[in-house]
Amino acid sequence: MAKGIYVVKATPDLVAVHKPAGVPFHSMGHQQGLLAAIRANPAFLLDSFAPAAQQQQQQQQQQQLDEQQRLFAVHRLDTGTSGLVCFATSAHVAGLVAKAFRERRVAKYYVALSARKPARKQGSVTGDMTRGHSSSWKLLRSSSDPAVTRFQSYSLAAVQPGLRLYVLKPETGRTHQLRVAMKSLGAGILGDPLYGAAAAAAEQQRMYLHAAALRVQLPDGSWFQAVDRPPLADGLFGHAAVQELCGRLLPDALEQDLGPWFEEHPLLVSRTTAMGTPAGAATLEGTSYQSSSSSSSSSSSSSS
């Protein structure tokens, strides 16, 4: 079992797991992937990466997994991205939740770090995506079937000059969508070896992109909501100022909050409306940012 995997939340229908950066979703060569690790041992042991305050709660949640013979994937993350990955406890629920992801009936929030000043501090990145060189992707000026990413950024200059934290809300789920969107803003994700300078990325402990929160309506009408802030033992994500900001933006109480999330930020807001396009998903006039030229970008059916 790869170090750092732990249960964030478990219900009879869905299990949210923390995937560490560097762990692939599918096994690669001799490296066991997240899916294989969990299927081989659903009641995996907690480790030191799990916050101490959550140990008892996670132990109770893990007991629900003991009876599970198999978990079914409903979405995935890139190898370099950490954070929430959801698994269904039956093929039936997996199909329904995967459909909700495809139909944009899931609100997802990521946090990212960049050391470069963006073209704008908040807004939307909209454009079609196409394959670029090697395994990269590009953002185009056309919008026939566009990828859409909402974002809000916050200064972390006290941590490092020019450093900013971004809250990203993908409305679509294209391959490497968030990494391409950040590059198009001129603020590539810190540590991204594909869309940033390889030499600069090699100096970083990891790529600083983390799936931090999501909410999805289950077949019985209830809501599955999970919050997973970046772990303390995770490079710059573990800096006190970064942790404090993430704690304010994504408090533990959010997991139980059925009201609007990020209500003070129209671009990021999501509401527990009836099954259908989440509130706040419509284009907001005057906030879109479209690439003025094709910009490199990256691979998987995930937005990370």
pLDDT for the residue numbered 59: 56
pLDDT for the residue numbered 183: 94
Domain ranges of the chain: 6-297
Of the residues 13, 78, 192, 234, only one is catalytic, namely: 78
- Please, are residues 215 and 269 in contact by the beta-carbon 8 Å criterion? no
pLDDT for the residue numbered 54: 52
Question: What are the percentages of helix, strand and coil residues in the chain, rounded to 5?
Answer: 20, 25, 55
- Is residue 78 part of the annotated active site? The answer reads yes
pLDDT for the residue numbered 200: 76
pLDDT for the residue numbered 199: 67
Quote the CA–CA distance of 130 and 169 in Å, as a whole number: 20
What residues does 88 pair with on adjacent strands?
14, 72
pLDDT for the residue numbered 224: 94
Q: The domain 6-297: what is its CATH number?
A: 3.30.2350.10
pLDDT for the residue numbered 217: 84
How do the pLDDT tens digits run along the chain, 304 residues long?
567 888 899 888 898 999 999 888 878 887 888 878 877 775 553 333 344 445 555 555 555 554 445 788 888 899 999 999 998 988 999 999 988 888 888 999 999 999 988 889 999 999 999 888 878 888 998 989 999 999 999 999 999 999 999 999 999 989 999 999 999 999 999 999 999 877 677 788 899 999 999 999 887 788 999 999 998 888 899 999 999 999 999 999 999 999 999 999 999 999 876 434 444 433 322 334 444 444 433 333 577 7
Residue among 203, 196, 205 nearest 298 (CA):
196
Show the CA angle centred on residue 215, arms to residues 214 and 216, nearest 5°: 130
Quote the CA–CA distance of 236 and 253 in Å, as a whole number: 24
| 168-to-63, 160, 161, 245, 292 alpha-carbon distances in Å | 33, 21, 21, 15, 21
Burial class of 2 by CB neighbour count within 10 A (0 to 12, 13 to 18, 19+):
middle
pLDDT for the residue numbered 220: 78
pLDDT for the residue numbered 53: 47
Helix residue ranges, H only, the chain: 34-40, 55-63, 91-102, 177-184, 198-202, 240-249
pLDDT for the residue numbered 269: 95
pLDDT for the residue numbered 106: 92
